[in-house]
Amino acid sequence: MAEIEFSVFSRSCLRQRLPDEESLYRQVQALELERNQAQARINWQFTAQDVRGKLRRLYPCLS
């Protein structure tokens, strides 16, 4: 889910050239405020069980 949020920020404000670090900070802060006010959500469609089934090697069963 964190990767999805990074992708949103990347597409929204990190692909453009910004003159300095302060401009980047302001852009990210504005987008963060906008997404928080809109209560943006991620539609996560996998359950932990689905992931363990598809990626057994990375997510072993914890029993």
> Full-prediction pTM beyond 0.75?
no
d(CA 58, CA 35): 31
- Confidence band of 59 (pLDDT split at 50, 70, 90): low
Is the CB of residue 18 less than 8 Å from the CB of residue 27? yes
Mean pLDDT of 7-15: 83
Domain boundaries, the chain: 2-54
d(CA 63, CA 21): 47
**Does pLDDT of 13 surpass 80?**
no
d(CA 14, CA 28): 8
Mean pLDDT of 4-29: 86
- Confidence band of 61 (pLDDT split at 50, 70, 90): low
The radius of gyration computed from the CA coordinates of the chain, to the nearest angstrom, equals 17
